[in-house]
């Protein structure tokens, strides 16, 4: 009785089961690890029954030390409260579980220093691989520092969502150039030729690529680029509100916002100043979050393949852990245009 009470307060060990059954620790270990032996079925049944009654669970850390693997993936994201990263994390967790791996999540609150700390913490915990989503304050130099730290710990790693080609390392991204093109192309096909673009942080590859897509769509339709129509933003709602004040001084009819939060900020500020979407401004947003369809005017958006990115991340990092070589470092997945009611057709 006392033995079982004790086991409720601490993890049951092989020694506990040995004491309970009277068999040696070696015998108990052979049975519970299903190792080849000449142990009788009667003894095996007694040991397995005792292990179940005592709530025995294998010590995964100890198993990891023996096998030199922890079946654990470290995931570092910049802001888990951001719907993109919440959905990405879900996709990675589900896919990793199917592949036999657990996930340890680290959130950096968009701070480079926290990213560096997270890499070292995960390395010290003995994770088999790391998936890293850059913080928004990472420039190319900081990204290379993170890559160097990962390499110094000799852990397989991949980057997700944001990257720099100069890093030349395994990466999973959405095709942001195509996304910027689709958004702008749709506005043009709806009759808009004077289109503003609210950018993300210019040091980030995804933000730059969306602007490249915007420019390519203009060029494809023979529309001359007006640099004044490109408005700096930082992916925040506040920068979207500020962008409205800048765009109000221009003669544009269409707006492409490089993020959902900026689009909402633009929309709120427009309504505050008695402007209407799409009567006064037609708006296409990046990111197709669930609430985009619930807005008073449902937003036309660029939907990123977030869940598919998560699955691709899981498969790519597990392949690297197992030594499977990929022909290309980059996995690039296409986004999709979702048409709703925030764009008006004009002549």
pLDDT in tens, 174-200: 999 999 999 999 999 999 999 999 999
CATH class of the region 2-58:
mainly alpha
The CATH H-level (homologous superfamily) assignment of domain 70-174+306-333 is Response regulator (3.40.50.2300)
Is it the case that residue 7 has pLDDT exceeding 50? no
Is it the case that residue 226 has pLDDT exceeding 70? yes
Assign 3-class secondary structure to the chain.
CHHHHHHHHCCCCHHHHHHHHCCCHHHHHHHHCCCCCCCCHHHHHHHHHHHHHCCCCCCHHHHHHHHCCCCEEEEEECCCCCHHHHHHHHHHHHHHHHCCCEEEEEECCCCHHHHHHHHHHHHHCCCCEEEECCCCCCCHHHHHHHHHHHHHCCCCEEEECCCCHHHCCCEEEECHHHHHHHHHHHHHHCCCCCEEEECCCCCCHHHHHHHHHHHHHHHHCCCCCCHHHEECCCCCHHHHHHHHHHHCCCCCCEEEECCHHHHHHHHHHHHHCCCCCCCCCEEEEECCCHHHHHCCCCCEEEECCHHHHHHHHHHHHHHHHCCCCCCCCEEEECCEEECCCCCCCCC
Domains 2-58 and 176-305 in one fold: no
- Could you tell me the pLDDT band of residue 2, with boundaries at 50, 70 and 90? very low
Residue 67 to residue 100: CA distance in whole angstroms: 15
Contact 108, 135 (CB under 8 A): yes
Q: What is the pTM of this model?
A: 0.77
Is it the case that residue 4 has pLDDT exceeding 70? no
Is it the case that residue 31 has pLDDT exceeding 60? yes
Residue 136 to residue 109: CA distance in whole angstroms: 9
pLDDT of residue 10: 66
Residue 259 to residue 116: CA distance in whole angstroms: 26
Has domain 176-305 been given CATH number 3.40.50.150? no
Residue 232 to residue 246: CA distance in whole angstroms: 10
pLDDT of residue 339: 97
Mean pLDDT of all residues in the chain?
89
- Could you tell me the pLDDT band of residue 124, with boundaries at 50, 70 and 90? confident
Residue 310 to residue 160: CA distance in whole angstroms: 9
Would you kindly state where each structural domain of the chain is located, as residue ranges? 2-58, 70-174+306-333, 176-305
Nearest alpha carbon to residue 213 among 189, 182, 238 = 182
224 token code pair: 């001359």
Percent of the chain with pLDDT over 90: 66
Q: Taking residues 330-345, what's their average pLDDT?
A: 96
């Amino acid at each position: 009785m006392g033995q079982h009470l004790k086991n409720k307060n601490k993890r049951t060990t092989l020694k506990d089961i040995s004491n309970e059954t009277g068999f040696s620790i070696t015998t108990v270990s052979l049975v519970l690890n299903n190792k080849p032996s000449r142990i009788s079925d009667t003894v095996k049944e007694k040991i397995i029954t005792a292990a179940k009654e005592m709530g025995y669970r294998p010590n995964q850390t100890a198993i990891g030390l023996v096998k030199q693997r922890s079946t654990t993936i470290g995931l570092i994201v910049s802001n888990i409260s951001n719907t993109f990263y919440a959905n990405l994390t879900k996709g990675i967790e589900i896919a990793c579980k199917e592949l036999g791996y657990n996930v340890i999540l680290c959130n950096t609150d968009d701070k480079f220093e926290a990213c560096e700390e997270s890499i070292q913490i995960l390395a010290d915990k003995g994770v088999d691989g790391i998936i890293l989503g850059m913080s928004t304050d990472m420039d190319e130099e900081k990204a290379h520092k993170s890559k160097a730290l990962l390499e110094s710990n000799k852990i397989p790693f991949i980057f997700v969502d944001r990257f720099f080609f100069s890093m030349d390392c395994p990466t999973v991204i959405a095709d942001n150039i195509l996304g910027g093109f689709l958004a702008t192309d749709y506005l043009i096909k709806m009759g808009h030729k004077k289109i503003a673009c609210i950018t993300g942080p210019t040091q980030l590859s995804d933000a730059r690529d969306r602007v490249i897509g915007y420019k390519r769509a203009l060029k494809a339709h023979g529309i001359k680029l007006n640099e004044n129509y490109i408005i700096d933003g930082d992916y925040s709602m506040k920068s979207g509100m500020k962008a409205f004040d800048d765009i109000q001084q221009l003669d544009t009819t269409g707006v492409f916002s490089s993020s959902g939060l900026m689009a909402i900020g633009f929309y709120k500020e427009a309504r505050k100043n008695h402007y209407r979407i799409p009567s006064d401004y037609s708006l296409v947003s990046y990111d197709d979050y669930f609430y985009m369809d619930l807005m008073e005017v449902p937003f036309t958006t660029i939907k990123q393949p977030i869940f598919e990115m998560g699955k691709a991340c899981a498969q790519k990092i597990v392949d690297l852990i197992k030594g499977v070589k990929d022909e290309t470092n980059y996995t690039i997945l296409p986004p999709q245009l979702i048409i709703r009611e925030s764009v008006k057709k004009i002549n």
